[in-house]
Structure 1
Amino acid sequence: MNYELKEIGKVKYIDEGQGPVLLLLHGLFGELSNFKHQVDYFKKDFRVVLPMLPLLDMDIFNTTVAGLAKFVQKFVEKLDLKNFHLLGNSLGGHVALVYILKHPERVRTLILTGSSGLFENGMGDSYPKRGDREYIRKKTEDTFYDPAIATKELVDEVFEITRNRLKAMRIIALAKSAIRNNLGDELKEIKQPTLLIWGQNDKVTPPFVAEEFKKLIPNSELYFIDMCGHAPMMEVPDEFNKILEPFLKKHG
């Protein structure tokens, strides 16, 4: 992704376009490039802001969903972002939920795709197989409906993270924090218009999870995308954007 990486403190982020703010949060093994197609598409009408979450850099005691939500809070305050659209994928969706529950006054709408927060088939239980590249390959492929999207480069990138003991400990800590931090009883407090975009073939947060979010978040609407896994914005970006655009403009 050929965008200028800006820095504020030690935080690297992308900030493109002008207009209403669309703040994007990536998932556990995510990169800024996960949202390349959304930055490309929405920067013509929105100010698209995408921070690199410090998943592998926080001290182990704060390596939690709540710790990441505090990071987002500080980032938002430093950039003085207000009345923004908040979109999160996977763990990023979970962080978005914790953030909006604590700071609803800053958020205009919420968009979740493959979000944890209720249930996920994560890496928390069997993850300690750090040296097993085949295991990592299979887990990476499970993210997508089309396993070919899990390229050798992507698998190698995830595998290298897991081979580092300290990084692996942080990944495990975040995965277990996501499992423990179930938000089912709190979701009724979310009043903002909420859009749920879900892969019909999501193995990590299966379709029933999306249905439960729809039931628990009062002002929410749900769209399923067929032949799509856990990261619709990457796997089927055109269809994802076509669902997201009218929602943003309706509430923008």
Structure 2
Amino acid sequence: MTSNSWKNKGKSINVFGRKLFVIDTGLVSSLTEKPLKETLVILHGYPTSSYDYYKVLPVLIKKYRVIIHDHLGFGFSNKPLDYSYSLIEQADFALQLWKQLNVTKITLLAHDYGTSIATEILARHNKQQIDLQINKLIICNGSIHIELSQLRTIQKLLKSKITGKWVAKLTSYTIFKKNLRNVYFDKTKVTEEELKEMWFQLKQNNGRKVIHLLSNYINERYYFWHRWIGALKETQIPTKIIWAKNDPVAVATIANLLAKEISNNKLFWIENCGHFPMLEKPNEWSKLVLE
């Protein structure tokens, strides 16, 4: 699917004076024409966008009203230079968006970067600071335990206040393509067309000028470690951990540790699969989400 085809599925919504690109499949299933009872909200990963879900969206909408947005700084959303890109503020934006869409009960699904936003939302939920009913939580391949993560060299360079800006300027499609391919288990599962679409969306709205600012999320994972890991330990929400076993970044050790820490959880493995299971093994991933 092309970026333009994906963009045509959604619209821009003004949240706190910034425009977020949002896909909302609505309250009615195109297959059954009956109101759907459940809403699935998705928090995507770094450095990509909601486009990560283009293969699985047709399956997910059979059960859910699906709402997925590009975080500020990603995809087709605004990418302001005068912004902190804190995960705390990304949580503010997600919660306000859902409020504007009159969403009160959700299944919350998060991958990669999105898992940190999800744990910030959980921290607030545990303290009854937000008026939102989270029925289920689904966590996929995120370096929540940042101390166990196997960060790529480019991630380390981008998060640095010294090298980040320069690395962002020098980053090319060739470098982007190489790094993204390397987090797949089966490198043939990502096509040149897909990579070009991802790069196109990354560059939208002066995206290369903010990529190093987005990378500060890694530092925040250390800074808010006790808050976010504590939120997972405290929550009683039924949690499904769906983990691609051969992820070279968010390694399998993280999933095993989360399974020990979250009280009400089930862990499901996807064998022979890398960091983007919804793209590399969409059928298997979708089945586990919907079960």
Instruction: Give 1:14's aligned residue.
Output: 23
Amino acid at match of 2:108: L
Are positions 1:212 and 2:257 aligned together? yes
What is the TM-score normalised by the length of structure 2? Answer: 0.75
Contact 1:5 1:14 in 2 (8 A): yes
Instruction: Give 1:239's aligned residue.
Output: 284
What is the Cα-based RMSD across aligned positions, in Å?
Answer: 2.6
Are positions 1:176 and 2:176 aligned together? no
- The aligned runs of 1:1-252 (5 Å cut-off) are 2=5, 4-9=9-14, 10-18=19-27, 19=36, 20-56=38-74, 57-58=79-80, 61-103=83-125, 105-119=132-146, 120-122=149-151, 123-127=154-158, 128=164, 129-130=167-168, 131=170, 133=172, 135-155=175-195, 157-158=198-199, 161=203, 166-182=209-225, 183-246=228-291
The offset of 1:234, in angstroms, is 1.3
The offset of 1:8, in angstroms, is 2.3
Q: CA separation of 1:239/1:165 partners in 2, compared to 1, >3 Å: closer, same or farther?
A: closer
Contact 2:63 2:290 in 1 (8 A): no
Structure 1 unaligned spans of 5+: 247-252
Sequence identity (%): 23
What is the TM-score normalised by the length of structure 1? Answer: 0.86
The offset of 1:220, in angstroms, is 0.9
Structure 2 unaligned spans of 5+: 28-35, 127-131, 159-163
Query: What is the aligned residue count?
Result: 246
1:147-166 C-alpha deviation (Å, 9 max, x unpaired): 23444455555497499662
1:22-78 C-alpha deviation (Å, 9 max, x unpaired): 111111122222112332012122111111111352555531211111111111111
> How far apart, CA to CA, are the structure 1 residues paired with 2:111 and 2:245?
15
Amino acid at match of 1:190: T
> How far apart, CA to CA, are the structure 2 residues paired with 1:48 and 1:24?
8
Amino acid at match of 2:176: I
Amino acid at match of 2:183: T
Amino acid at match of 1:223: F
